[in-house]
Structure 1
Amino acid sequence: MDLKLVLDGDITIISLSGRIEIEKTQSFKQACLTTFADKKIVFCMKNLNFVGSSGIQSFFGVLNDLNAAKRLNVKIAGLNPDFQRLFAFSQCPALEVHESIEGALQSF
């Protein structure tokens, strides 16, 4: 998975591309805690490739846990239709999903 960071005021937009590897989920979580603790983050997932339901649900779970514990303030933008269906079953009540980055930015 590749990451591209853009700052918009006090909000960090992280554009994800490539594939999420389930075995790297915990290292991703640690990197987020180290780098983005107490920050406002928008994860743009429009360029993320399908990774299988267990990979993306694990990723959603990590973001949900970080957001629910108030470690990060996370929003998600740009889910493709496959990811939207999986998100609907992910039971991640702490996450907000927006169609666009602009919508996510305005929700803070």
Structure 2
Amino acid sequence: MAPKPTPNGNAAQQAEATPSNIPAVVGINFGNAYASIAVYTKEGLAECIANENGERQIACAIAFHGEEIYVGNQAMPQLVKNAQNTITGFRNLLGKK
């Protein structure tokens, strides 16, 4: 009986990535108008994370009205009602004084 050959370290013989050994990966797309967040699942699929309303694109907006603060998609209607206290495109303002 012949001895079994041992692997010589070729890339072809290395173990393939299985769902159990894939690290957690999160991706963020932060644009001027909308942002989205995606995650690489244990099943090997990339999925966009939805907010509480099921929307996968979240508006990049903040609005202030009295004591209320509106963030994301809830702030967008404030552009019409309360434009002077609504901030959009704030990505360009990050890091500035």
TM-score band (shorter)? Answer: under 0.3
| Greater share of residues in helix | 1
User: What is the TM-score when the length of structure 1 is the normalising length?
Assistant: 0.21
- Between the two structures, name the one with larger relative contact order (CA 8 Å, sep ≥ 6): 1
